[in-house]
Amino acid sequence: MGFQNFEKALELAKQCRGYMSVGCKVVGGGKSDEVISHGEKLIGFKFSRQTYEFFKRVGFLMFSGKEIYGIVMDDFSGDTEDNAVEFSLKQRKEWKLPKEWLCIYNFGFDGYMGYLDYSDLNADGEPPVIMAVGAGKKYIVAERVAEDLGDFILGLVEEQLARQSQ
């Protein structure tokens, strides 16, 4: 449902047990327009509205062992594992990651990662979230996981809230 699901996901995330503490927290804080613009220059493309707003509002998001990569250090000199831009650039260099992909999630099994695929934008200009795995010097797309970032985050949050209510 586009930007509405993005808004809903960020709002519902606040209901996760332990929000702003160990179990579910927003970490890093939102980033400035200048920092986000620098990230766009480094990665080589403009971020979609949802990606831009995600970086601007929360930086990156973590809850119940799940982490949606974002921008961590303002100068892009931090831990590349948590930084979508730095980690994607590292994967481009070391593993020939497609230039249109932005790494946002580690599925936690057998090297499968979540990427925003900027080569396949929807009518709203949003990239889908795909699951892919590196295989030598190429990547194999396992599946299209969500229509866009908002749908992806919403799915993770709703799954967590369902577990909490059991």
- Segments making up each domain of the chain, as ranges: 3-164
pLDDT in tens, 43-54: 999 999 999 999
Third-level CATH fold of 3-164: SMI1/KNR4-like (3.40.1580)
Confidence grade of residue 23 (pLDDT, cut at 50, 70, 90): very low
pLDDT in tens, 94-136: 889 999 999 999 998 888 999 999 999 999 999 999 999 988 7
The C-alpha angle with vertex 79 and arms to 74 and 81, in degrees rounded to 5, equals 115
